[in-house]
Amino acid sequence: MDGVKFNPNSYIRPVTTGAPQPVSSPAVTPKDDRPFSEILAEEIKSKSNVSFTKHAIQRVATRNIDVSEASMERLSEGIKLAAEKGLGETLILVDKTAFIVNAGTNRVITAVTGTDLKGNVFTNIDGTVII
Contact status, residue 91 vs residue 100, Cβ threshold 8 Å: yes
> Residue 81 — φ and ψ, nearest 5°?
-60, -40
pLDDT digit of tens for each residue in the chain (131 aa)? 566 666 666 666 666 666 666 666 566 566 677 777 677 667 766 666 888 999 999 999 899 898 888 998 999 999 999 999 999 999 999 999 999 999 999 999 999 998 888 888 999 999 999 99
